[in-house]
Structure 1
Amino acid sequence: MAGVAWHYVLKFIITGDSAVGKSSLLVRLTDQRFLANPDPTLGVEFGSKLITIPEENKVVKLQCWDTAGTESFRSITRSYYRGAAGCLLVYDVTSRQSFVNARSWLADVREHADPHLTCILVGNKIDLCTDDAGPGRRTREVPSEEAEQWAQEEGLLFVEASARSGENVEAAFERATRDILDKIRRGVFDDDRSPGVKLLKPSNPNLSLEADARQGRCC
């Protein structure tokens, strides 16, 4: 992979109810830090990240759109669903209502996004329902077995994660990316016609990953 900045650019959307930790997941992915008290997302926020999929011998740039979870912005955020190749559908494992509402968000995604989009259901905030007693601990309201069963019924990937600790955050994006790359290989996604999948060739053949990072294009 020497001399390659990235092989593909994939468009991801992050959707779900307000306060489930969508912005925190994005910041954890791109900046490797935790937002303790993020401001509510107004419309959409953007972040990008280079990841390497060794078994595919591919470097992929993820362009991630974090969408607002409030009803007042729903008509705006729907426009960002179009052309997305991947979706993180996020709920809070300590909030049953956010899990119930995930059905509505999924219906929106399926109505407005690419029919071949890869969607991964992400149960966030698992750090809040550990066995350790302490301030901020909450009761888990969504059993992992129930969420996983629903994900299987809907054809979704599934993972539980923590934006606070970073557990499974990159893994969620990487798993969805592997699924998208598999679809590209099988011809499900066409990088010439699918706006959420772009095959890029560096204008400078000597451009390396290190140089790309130094120039601020990795995140």
Structure 2
Amino acid sequence: MTYDYLFKYIMVGDPGVGKTSIMLQLLGKRFGQEQKDLLGEEFGTKFIKVDDLQIKLQVWDDLWSLRYKSIPISFYRPAAGVLVVYDVIKRESFNNAQLWIQEVKDQGSQTAIIILVGNKTDLESMRQVTTEEGQQLAMEQNILFIETSAKTGYHVDDTFFIITKEIIQKLKSNQIDLLNKNCGIWKGNNVQNQITLLNQGGNRKWLGGCC
């Protein structure tokens, strides 16, 4: 399929918060699919259209945390966007989300867009973390925020649309250096529709892909 750019996203968070289920829902697969089926598929791909650009998303799950109880630094970059996921019915996962955010900021690309995702809103009666608490943490960390349900699909597509749109806006405003090998963005095969910007000398330049 023809696309303008490839954006690489990663998902981090405590085991059991629903990262794999979010990816399955995004890819249109069955909720609750056995995780063992994905152990050879640490990432999935999805095409979405934002601002007249066809974007290929490559979404990576941190299955390393299940296998090895730790995540290698190389997982954090390159990455254009990061989803820090917690479970709204598990207070501990929310508390740990603050640690995940800091690790992403320490180990990831400085230009990566981070979104805090409160998952499992379908279990409202069991909620331990309020929406306001999630919003407050995101505001304090200067990152995006959304709540989702991987089971029902609530806000799953919106999550990826929001973060993709934010990245595109930063590209258009020249806030992301595509020469940075950690940016997590590569040009696609639709060269004619790729974004052009004015460089500092006033000449047009094409936004290619980081190498």
Q: How far did 1:31 drift?
A: 2.3
Unpaired stretches in structure 2, ≥5 consecutive residues: 193-211
Q: Which among 135, 141, 147 is matched to residue 128 of structure 2?
A: 141
Alignment root-mean-square deviation, CA = 2.3
2:3 alignment partner in structure 1: 6
2:141 alignment partner in structure 1: 154
> Share of identical aligned residues, percent?
37
CA contact (8 A) 1:120 1:156 kept: yes
CA contact (8 A) 1:18 1:40 kept: no
Q: Which runs of 4+ in 1 moved over 4 A?
A: 39-44
Residue 123 of structure 1 aligns to a residue whose secondary structure is: strand
Residue 46 of structure 2 aligns to a residue whose secondary structure is: strand
Change (3 A) 1:42 1:17: farther
CA contact (8 A) 1:44 1:67 kept: no
Partner amino acid for 2:2? A
Q: Which among 5, 17, 20 is matched to residue 17 of structure 2?
A: 20
Partner amino acid for 1:125? K
Partner amino acid for 1:200? G
Unpaired stretches in structure 1, ≥5 consecutive residues: 130-137, 206-219
Measured in 2, the distance between the counterparts of 1:99 and 1:36 equals 25
Greater relative contact order structure (CA < 8 Å, 6+ sep): 1
- TM-score calculated relative to the size of structure 1: 0.79
CA contact (8 A) 2:62 2:71 kept: no
Q: How far did 1:43 drift?
A: 9.6
Change (3 A) 1:8 1:186: same
CA contact (8 A) 1:43 1:67 kept: no
CA contact (8 A) 2:13 2:86 kept: yes
**How many residues are paired up?**
190
- TM-score calculated relative to the size of structure 2: 0.82
2:187 alignment partner in structure 1: 199
Residue 165 of structure 1 aligns to a residue whose secondary structure is: coil
